[in-house]
Structure 1
Amino acid sequence: MEAAIREHPAVAECVVSAEATPGGQRRLVALVVPREDRPLDGRTVLTHLRARLPHYLIPGQIHVLERLPLTSNGKVDVAGALAGLAAQAPPGTRATTEGAGAHGELVERLRALWAELLELPAVDPDGDFFALGGNSLLALRLINRVHAEFGVDLHFGQVFEAPTVRALAGRLAEHDRAASCRVTLSGPAAGPGPAGGSRAAGRELFLFHPVGGSVSSYTALARSWPGPVHAFQSRALAEGSTAALDPDLVTMATSYREELERATAEGPYLLGGWSMGGVLAYEAGRQLAERGHEVRVFMIDSDLTEVRVSTTEAARHLEFLGDLAGGRLPAAVRPAVLGAPPDRLTRTALELSVTNGWLPAGTTAEQYDLLLRVHAHNLEALSGYRADKSEVPTLLLVAAGVDRADPVPAWRDMCSRLDVEVWPEDHYSIVAGDRPAAIADRVATWLEEPRVRH
């Protein structure tokens, strides 16, 4: 990245650093010093990098400075530079209005809002919310603030469909609330990336939501994949209503497959997903193969025999909270939920979610209830799924740290061309930290292996 920046004739020196974000992720920050008498701004550097690097290597922030500040031991003081920039002006006045374009006033209001939520000194109108450090919790906060300040109700999935200030401003200006299940998490890469095998480079990837219905868990994987990445979110989250829930998993996968084919009529297709998302990928891939398409599928700790159907309302809340907590439910949560009176159950669970940081402050009871209902419905759909046999080449990554029956035999009974790998992770850590990048690398390598016929 630094080498690519230095290729610009107006750049004298630069440094790129990965800085922590409010959501606990990392964002790339570039500090650039121009040559004497050579005008340079962040937009020029951004345009230069977009022509040379894949999207996931583009810094979320680019700052042009007169010089690089140094620490007492001679290292570049990135944190000090960012703190100085943040102190130069109050939020809402730090970002230049250049490039606001259509809906200029709306764009500026959204830039100020994003800068506040993401704790940034400035936000480019074309900067991606998730590349800048956003996550599902911050997306919910954004939805609540947009409702409060603009009077427009956004659905959760629309943040993924319009992930830049400019795109979201267009949605708000037109009051466009239509949402599709397929959202684009990343566009075409400009060059080889971490997963840059010859078959993976530029290959379009389709991911399917896990049991919660959101596709926010795939943003890191999308950044690591060297080609376009699309993901299918729950129709109920996309439309903001449980009335849009599909009756069963096969129907759900069929609707996603039909939307996929409308967008990309011909293969070869590469499908994948974590947990329930892998099962949806398997079913959609099986249907595509039946229709004569070439397909490859990878599943991340997907269990065909998983049964988690709750028989009481309190149990549904506990299942949902357990997934929000990454499988590590604090001891005090269970008795608090089980002891709550029926008319206080949702409010109690919501308060626990906010207190423990699983959902942001400001989440409404209606938003919580939608997430809960989608989660419970998808668990029932997954438990009721009965797979048909498939000859689609499939890679299954199994998390070793899960107390359960071995999920592999059931998959081998159904899938004749199954490759299995066991990873030293649990069901949640396998898609956390640096694991998504490792998954992207492994899938790219798997596509190259001679055992898989292309």
Structure 2
Amino acid sequence: MHPDQNFFEAGAHSLTALRVLTALGTAFPGRAPTIADLFNNQTVATLAAALSADAVGTPQVVHLSRTGTRPMLYCFPGLMVNTREYAPLVRRLGPDQPVTGFVCYSLTEARKSVVSVEDIAARYAETIRAECAGRPCTLLGWSWGGVLAYEAARMLGSDVDLTFVGMLDVCDIDVNFAVGALPRLSPEARSARQAQVALWLERSPMRADWEDLFRRMDEGLTAQFLAYVAASGPLPADGPGLGSKEFELWTFVDNTLLYRGYRAAAFDVPIRVWLAGESLARGLNHVDWSRYSRHVLSRDVIPGVTHREIVDSADFHASFAARLDAGRA
């Protein structure tokens, strides 16, 4: 690979990036770069320069587009994804639109100290406040990132001039893990599942992480997890590396626990909603933002795309660009 060739344009993806970071952390133990550093320095040459200058260690902020005179757009990620998913939208918006993204907390060391949705949102809000206090900006959140965008907006209050908060196919907690959706497990079935989990923990590389998570789960979530085990088949034991199936499952349950403890407060911020047509067809439980804000300005459906595809949809890009231009007219 040529030193000036873009790492991602050469075919790298998020999991490749995580493997590169593991190798770099071993080679540079005192100056271990983060995934945000890799996204901000996407060639061997620029990353080497940052390492040499000891200019690494940024945990969450990615500069998707540094140029442009328009107000900043901040992009919030969904679970277990990073900001690279927004790259096609950034290209569509053009060189006059500066864009900053945030790396999902579950891909950073910060996940070890996170105890609430508010913790995560506060870190994002702090960055936005420092850069945009008294000035206009727009927030966009995909999937559960929309909840973080909303909470960050609420924390920012009048400190910034929010054009709107964009909600990209934002769904509530999986119905199988919703508060009050208790499964029906007979005492025999529950005992069998508990025994299955106990055997799995004996060989799990993430045993300590799981045991800590189980201690934090209430009776309802524990019952739901056991029902999930009964329906999902063999539990993965390939953790704890980022990108492993076991780590993904642990992150999903941990994130569910965080969101079950979150209670959104009303805040009349302007909101625009985009929904994936296939998500509606499947009956996914989208968040009804009119319950929290009296200023839901639009609700656009992007036909023919799934929850994962909508962020890459040209139809969504065009719709978002038009709403962005209208809000700044």
Conservation of the 8 A alpha-carbon contact between 1:185 and 1:219: yes
Distance 2:203 2:125 in 1: 40
Distance 1:233 1:182 in 2: 6
Q: Which residue of 2 is the match for residue 303 of structure 1?
A: 171
Counterpart residue type for residue 427 of structure 1 = H
Q: Per the alignment, do residues 135 and 144 of structure 1 end up closer, same or farther by CA in structure 2, a change over 3 Å counting? A: same
1:178 pairs with one of 45, 57, 74:
57
Q: Which residue of 2 is the match for residue 330 of structure 1?
A: none
Q: Which residue of 2 is the match for residue 78 of structure 1?
A: none
Q: Which residue of 2 is the match for residue 259 of structure 1?
A: 127
Distance 2:99 2:136 in 1: 14
Q: Per the alignment, do residues 346 and 301 of structure 1 end up closer, same or farther by CA in structure 2, a change over 3 Å counting? A: farther
For the residue of structure 1 that corresponds to 2:161, the secondary structure is coil
2:264 pairs with one of 387, 390, 398:
387
Show the 5 A alignment for 1:96-107: none
Counterpart residue type for residue 426 of structure 1 = T
Conservation of the 8 A alpha-carbon contact between 1:214 and 1:233: yes
Conservation of the 8 A alpha-carbon contact between 1:389 and 1:415: yes
Q: Which residue of 2 is the match for residue 344 of structure 1?
A: 203
| Cα shift at 1:293 | 2.7
For the residue of structure 1 that corresponds to 2:257, the secondary structure is helix
| Cα shift at 1:278 | 1.4
Distance 1:371 1:157 in 2: 20
Stretches of structure 1 lacking an aligned partner (at least 5 in a row) = 1-114, 116-121, 190-200, 312-336, 352-363
Alignment root-mean-square deviation, CA: 3.4
Is it true that 1:276 corresponds to 2:144 in the alignment?
Answer: yes
Show the 5 A alignment for 1:4-403: 115=1, 122-124=2-4, 127-147=5-25, 153-174=32-53, 177-189=56-68, 202-212=70-80, 214-226=82-94, 227-235=97-105, 237-238=107-108, 240=109, 242-245=111-114, 247-291=115-159, 293-304=161-172, 306=174, 309=177, 341-345=200-204, 349=236, 365-367=240-242, 368=244, 373-402=250-279, 403=282
Distance 1:225 1:249 in 2: 29
Q: Which residue of 2 is the match for residue 40 of structure 1?
A: none
| Cα shift at 1:256 | 0.9
Is it true that 1:423 corresponds to 2:302 in the alignment?
Answer: yes
Q: Residue deviations 1:355-408, cap 9 Å, x none? A: xxxxxxxxx744447665544333322333222223222111112323335526
Q: Per the alignment, do residues 133 and 377 of structure 1 end up closer, same or farther by CA in structure 2, a change over 3 Å counting? A: same
Distance 1:379 1:214 in 2: 19
Q: How many residues align?
A: 276
Counterpart residue type for residue 431 of structure 1 = V
Q: TM-score when scaled to structure 2?
A: 0.70
Conservation of the 8 A alpha-carbon contact between 1:276 and 1:382: no
Counterpart residue type for residue 163 of structure 2 = V
Distance 2:141 2:160 in 1: 22
Conservation of the 8 A alpha-carbon contact between 1:208 and 1:231: yes
Conservation of the 8 A alpha-carbon contact between 2:7 and 2:42: yes
Distance 1:146 1:453 in 2: 43
Identity %: 26
Q: TM-score when scaled to structure 1?
A: 0.52
| Cα shift at 1:215 | 2.4
Higher helix share: 2
Q: Which residue of 2 is the match for residue 24 of structure 1?
A: none
Q: Which has the larger radius of gyration?
A: 1
Q: Per the alignment, do residues 400 and 169 of structure 1 end up closer, same or farther by CA in structure 2, a change over 3 Å counting? A: same
For the residue of structure 2 that corresponds to 1:388, the secondary structure is coil
Q: Residue deviations 1:209-251, cap 9 Å, x none? A: 212263232233233332111111244634x353332x21123
Q: Which residue of 2 is the match for residue 411 of structure 1?
A: 289
Q: Residue deviations 1:95-139, cap 9 Å, x none? A: xxxxxxxxxxxxxxxxxxxx1xxxxxx342xx5433444321221
Counterpart residue type for residue 203 of structure 2 = R
Counterpart residue type for residue 7 of structure 2 = F
Counterpart residue type for residue 136 of structure 2 = P
Q: Residue deviations 1:315-368, cap 9 Å, x none? A: xxxxxxxxxxxxxxxxxxxxxx989832334598365xxxxxxxxxxxx74444
Greater RCO between the two (CA within 8 Å, min separation 6)?
2
Distance 1:123 1:386 in 2: 48
For the residue of structure 2 that corresponds to 1:286, the secondary structure is helix
Q: Per the alignment, do residues 268 and 241 of structure 1 end up closer, same or farther by CA in structure 2, a change over 3 Å counting? A: closer
Conservation of the 8 A alpha-carbon contact between 2:3 and 2:43: no
